[in-house]
Structure 1
Amino acid sequence: IRCVLYGSLGATGIGHGTPAAVLVGLTGELPETVDPALVSAIADLASERGALRLPHGREVTLERDWLRFAPLTRLDRHSNALTLEALDHTGNTVLSETYYSIGGGFIEHAGDEPGDAAGDPAAGVEAPFRSGDELLEICAARGLSIAEVMRAAETRLRSAAALDAELDEIWATMSGCIDSGLSAIGVLPGGLQVARRAARMATTLQEADLRGERDTSHEWLQAYAIAVNEENASGGRVVTAPTNGAAGIIPAVLRYAIDFLPLEHARPHAEFLLVAGAIGSLYKRNASISGAEAGCQGEVGSACSMAAGALCHLLGGTPAQVENAAEIAMEHNLGLTCDPVAGLVQLPCIERNAIGAGKAVAAARMALNGDGSHVISLDTVIETMRQTGNDMSERYKETSLGGLAVNVVEC
């Protein structure tokens, strides 16, 4: 077996743990169920043995040069591209397949039409809304909230019980990720010697809460986001919401709301995730949620927008206010570059999620203090983000070839 990582996937492959992920994926393990603690061990064993056992039991040879990085080769369809080849005993290629990681955990195959993403249950199903304006029109015509519209759309694909179970599982994974991050100590892998700090923050905030000396809610918000992104940086399990690099914002804002705010919803996590999903679908359809395509505005910006709208809904916002909150959040993330130092999702990514979570809360509060009317629509800001991403230099799109990535001296 041979593998080639192209473009951004090649540039940040080591920092993102891609080699181990490729090997473990070939053994048949799934991101949702694999034990994260065993990923490195499985990959190391395969490399040491020079062999890999495939799901059906066949063992294949793993040469020393089984993995090749081609960061300067960008395939036309997407910058995150991977080619897998199977070779016969003479070294001739007998099968070659290319796949594209388009963001949010969605994968496209080179032989499929763009938009036919594996893992997307909605692929091939006509969406009930294709823009923010259409979503608001449906809400107004039917007297429904955005969460109710999204629930109706999702139950076209699965039963209501299955949907609720999936929402519960997503939130349980997110919440568990926060808890793990708040208790883990040490230094993050990768060579930058970045110390984990979420646990230290949690201890400090717990002591401050016992003394009752100040409102610590927004500091906990930051700690939650940092906890998730430290888990991601260390190879833990996170929910791609909308991406791994921006995975801390939505869990942090939801946990903050549940822990610190008066909420009337019986199942606030379900309401929150449905609204966030509705907003995220607009970015995925009309722009991008991939840092390799749009820079960090497509990752942290989209996550911030999703969380802002979802929080606004939880706090009683109308559909118009929710749309306004989502627009405010993205408007002030436009042009955000993706420049991870050493290709690692650590600097500036971890802090960026904490700041993004705070922006989401601020955007929701600002929208709630208005009546939902505003000059710039969510659709306009999404289109602007798309255009900005197209105009942005490739150096600032998750390639680690520009910005902080080249101006920070690696020690």
Structure 2
Amino acid sequence: MSAPQSPVQRADFDQFMVPNYAPAAFIPVRGEGSRVWDQGGRELIDFSGGIAVNALGHGHPALMKALTEQASKLWHLSNVYTNEPALRMARQLVESTFAERVFFANSGAEANEAAFKLARRYGHDVSGGSRYEIIAMINSFHGRTLFTVSVGGQPKYSEGFGPKIEGITHVPFNDLDALKAAISEKTCAVVIEPIQGEGGVLPAEQGFLQGARELCDAHGALLIFDEVQSGVGRSGYLYAYMHYGVVPDILTSAKSLGGGFPIGAMLTTEKLASHFSVGVHGSTYGGNPLGCAVGSALLEVVNTPEVLDGVKARYERFRTALESMADKYGIFSGVRGMGLLIGALLSEPWKGKAKDVLTAANEEGLMVLQAGPDVIRFAPSLVISEADIDEGLARLERAIARITQA
């Protein structure tokens, strides 16, 4: 008989963990749907979705079933072999998108790492080495590896790690003239988030994405869409590029893709995929049977008119309530986003105080996010009930009333 496990508490984080995070004072231990309970039994409503990850909330029966069934069969093989869940999920992604080929990874950063490496490999192969420059957007975020953090347009994440990767240029988001001035025959790729997530929940303008596509075509460069945060139903479309009608050459996906199980994917065309021949790139865990079984089950649920139309309807419910709070308390200057990736911009007197709003919301039993110091971000379950939306918004209003009237 095994000895009972010793209890853990929040202080253990400070004692045992690397201090690169600053987690909340409470520890969630159980979740069901869009409700979470902490160690003390306190219930919270989850508007954070694990940072746009828990696409179907906590403990969704379809995902639980897929995971437990696969867990009883096969956990891991490595890519010396293929497996049925990976093949099934790859087929689903190809049949549902522009893509013809899929590469599986463990995370959004790894999916982007693969995308950027493929773009440079393609540029090398077609130019003999002269086409390697990548153009990304200011305030973009693409992951935490040295390559992805260098492509990301937020210096606070990339400084202090020695020499940066060369050949990366940043231009202002939604500034087509700046992109036109930067692109050249040396450009192998332009990288854009259709909705900037960490940069403040800022959707791209239609003309900017369309113009980027035309510039890439004119200069022989690839267009990469980072849909790690905006993808898998989050925008009200399976992928946000479908809303814009602008098709990329490479698309990256993660976060919601596994509904909480770590998985990422890079989607591309057959022509480009051929530049990743055997041995050029790889991942030990990429295409793991557990992750792909869960991801496949999630796609079956999310990629339906009922869920995607429901996301659009839920956006309107959030927007109406948040705009009402803006009028009543003066704390927000606007609401932006798409689907269930929503940003409420803090008004001038509240700029820089997003963390204060998060803390107050936690105290009222609500989990929300920030996107920088000036934006409150909402990324709940795509199937969150109207009752949970209304109760969560009521808790948010109590928090706002308390801090604005203090």
Q: Same fold (TM over 0.5)?
A: no
**TM-score tier (shorter):** under 0.3
| Higher-strand-fraction structure | 2
Return the structure number with greater helix share: 1
Q: Using CA pairs under 8 Å that are at least 6 residues apart, name the structure with larger relative contact order, 1 or 2.
A: 2
TM (norm. structure 2) is 0.26
